[in-house]
Each structure stands twice: as structure tokens, then as C-alpha cells.
Amino acid sequence: MGEWSLTKEQHVETIARWIIGCEHTVVFTGAGISTDSGLPDFRGPEGVWTRRDAGLPAPRWRVPPGRVEPNASHLSLVELQRLGKLRFLITQNTDNLHRRSGIRPEFLAELHGNGQLVRCLGCDRQYTRQEVGWDTTRWGPGYRTQKPVLGQPACVACGGRLISSVVNFGDPLPQKEWALADQHARNCDLMLVLGSSLMVKPAASLVGLALGSGARVVLVNRGRTPYDEAATLRVWTGIGDVIPPAVERVKRALGEE
């Protein structure tokens, strides 16, 4: 479809119609879905990496860290889950907003980890920082590359070393999450790609897997991506402008209002 030929209303209608008609919808999200919650993105005009590459300081959060909440786009994906129209959600985000919004863990692959979770290097179990009593003021974030600090909590199941579940550059992706994401990308008939520049690999390659398997791909992102020409529908507006109203149409069509 033409990049500029459809109105916002037509985009909303098309996305809703495809969600209703498809059996295996997968959502892929990047930092752009959280900008309406006050978090900066990475490669937008004022993004973290954009400013870093220009020699500028990191962008300020528009909301104090303790007050960041899921926004309408996060909540609309929870509605798709409730309606039985979301089969799986793949995210590059570490902000915990998908879990907080109500996405069930079994429907979610956090490919780059979660800033609120630690995992065991021995048995791969995950815990919230609260569950294990991890105090970041004493032991720091606990990244894999940091040396263990005396007295920091260990895995209650096997005694192994706990590290932040966040995947930093050079760290391996979590195997279980990657396998699930790969499986769903290959088997979906619709993938909604929301707020990702699709520059970070291997996560971005999942979009190519979906396209190669014959799925429709809706790409909603304000900035350019390597998949702009390949996407079935390319939407250049904000995620909040099209996804929440599209989900409302799905609800009405399914008699859920």
C-alpha cells in the first residue's frame, strides 16, 4: 500500500479489519510505544543514541521514573489479549510496562530483558528484585559484566549468581524467549510492528521471518526503518493515533462493548 495515500482513518480501519480476520496476530514493540508514557526512545530526533552520536547529553525523561505508567497503546494490546486476538508479544523494551499493563508472561518475550528482573546464571530462573531483596544502592544493577559484590543475593533455587536480566550490547539473548519469538514470527499471519527503528539485530530479523512466511506486516514508526518498503502497510503517525482506535473497532465488531 502507498505510504502516504491512506488517511489515518483508513489506516485504523485496515488494521482493525486485518486483526479481526487473522488467526495468529503477533505484536513486536520497540521504545516508541513507551514515549507516550514519558520515556525517551533511542533513535528518534531526540533519542538516546541520536543525542549521544551528536555529542549531546542523554534526553530528560518527561515523567519522574517513579511515575511512569503504561499508556493507551500498552493497554490496547492487553485488550487484544482479553479478546483472544493476541497470540504473542515480542518486545525490545526493558521498561516493564507490558507486564505492568497486564500482558501475561506466557504471552511475552522480552528479548532485551527487564530492568525489574534478575536471573540466575546457573538455572536461568527469574525473580523480581523485590523477591530476592536486591538493593541497587548496595549492589548496583548487577550487569553480567560487573564483578559480583560481597553479600549480594544468590539464586534461592540453586545458589547460582544472579545478574540483571537486561541484555546489554555483547550479551547473548535469552534462549527461551528467542525461540518463542522465532516460532511465533514464522507462524503468524499478521505482525504489528510498533515503535521500533528495526536497527538492532537479531531482534529486527523477526520482521523478515514474518514477511518471508507470508504474513502481513503493519509497521508504525515515526522514523525510517530498513523495512519501510517491505511492510504490507507503513504508517508514519504515532502509535497512539492508530492502535487504540483500531482496537476499539475490533471490540465493537466482536460485540465486546
24: annotated active-site residue: no
**Same domain flag for 121 and 178:** no
Query: What is the reported pLDDT for 189?
Result: 97
Q: Confidence band (pLDDT; 50, 70, 90) for 62?
A: low
- Quick one: average pLDDT of 171-192? 95
Question: Do 158 and 46 fall within a single domain?
Answer: no
Average pLDDT of the residues in 44-65: 53
Does residue 1 fall inside a structural domain?
Answer: no
Domain count, the chain: 2
Same domain, 47 and 110: yes
pLDDT in tens, 118-150: 999 999 999 999 999 999 999 999 998 899 888
The reported pLDDT for the residue numbered 47 is: 44
pTM: 0.88
Catalytic entry in 11, 98, 112, 184: 112
Residue 109 lies in domain: 8-115+172-253
| 248 inside domain | yes
pLDDT, tens digit (0-9, with 9 covering 90-100), for 228-244: 999 999 999 999 999 99
pLDDT over threshold 80, residue 5: no
CA distances 233 to 1, 178, 236, Å, are: 6, 25, 10
User: Does residue 148 sit in the same domain as residue 25?
Assistant: no
Nine cell digits for residue 212? 518471508
DSSP string, 182-249: HHHHHH-SEEEEES----STTTTHHHHHHHHTT-EEEEE-SS--TTTTT-SEEE-S-HHHHHHHHHHH
| CA 158 to centroid of chain Cα atoms | 30
Are residues 249 and 176 both part of a single domain?
yes
125 and 100 share one domain: no
The cell numbers describing 232, all together, are 504490507
pLDDT at site 39: 78
Whether residues 161 and 177 fall in one domain = no
State whether 152 and 211 are in the same domain.
no
Q: Are 233 and 128 contained in the same domain?
A: no
Q: Is residue 3 part of a domain?
A: no
At 220, give phi and psi (nearest 5°).
Answer: -115, 110
